[in-house]
Structures are given as C-alpha cells and as structure tokens.
Structure 1
C-alpha cells in the first residue's frame, strides 16, 4: 500500500501471541469501501475514481451556417462627405 489513500482506506491491526515455542504475530489489513455519505467508509473517493458527466443538450440549428474564427472582420469603407 502506498500514497495518501492508505491513511483513509486501509484499517490495520497487529497482534502478537507469546507461545512456548516462540512468538506468533498476525498482521491484518482491511481496505474499506468508498461511501459518499461517509457513514461506513471514507467520504473522499480514490484518486483513480472517474466520474462521467452527461453532455448538455444542444439546440440543433435550423439551417447550416459558417463562422470565420481568428480572422479580423472587414469594416466597410467610411462614407466621405
């Protein structure tokens, strides 16, 4: 385990038992599930969590048109008196 999610998502416990033959050690790591409400797990999502946003509805144009982008608009010549 590495990175910041180990602080939120992994619950670790270590126990040592003294026996006649020596010491027996048990280490357990449990990864908690993501819970948006924060009741049974971490509220922050994992860094690799991807959320897809639905695209906005766009109005379909009635007739085709074109736009000049990046070019300066031409101004009509000034009327001389």
Structure 2
C-alpha cells in the first residue's frame, strides 16, 4: 500500500474554520434583514400613516351601510 494515498484529516483549527464560516454567514443574514427593514417596513409604515391621516371611518361606514354590506345596520 502507498502511504501517501489518503489525505490526513484536518483536526487542527477545524472548529475555528467552521465558526468563521458561520459567523460571517450570520452577520450577512442579519445585515440583509436589517436592510430589508428600511426597504420594506418603513415605506409600508409611511403608506399606512398617509392612508389613516385622511381616513374618515364614519363616512366609510355610511357608504358601506348604504351599499348593503351590513345586514344588521339598516
């Protein structure tokens, strides 16, 4: 048998290398989620605030009542 046929298993520094990979991945995922907050959540909050700034719930209720959506409020 040839003694150099199989590579020696790397045990020295294996945990460090695996942790480095996972820490970099976790940092990238958390950074992406934080950026998505500014790309998705903030515009959505602004759109909701703009909608409710001029929203009249009584007027909307009266329109739905006249349209016949509510059977109990005639």
**Which TM-score band applies after superposition, normalised by the shorter structure?**
under 0.3
Q: Which of 1 and 2 has higher RCO (CA within 8 Å, sep 6+)?
A: 1
Structure having the higher strand fraction is 1
Q: Which has the larger radius of gyration?
A: 1
**So what's the TM-score if we normalise by structure 1?**
0.26
Structure having the higher helix fraction is 2
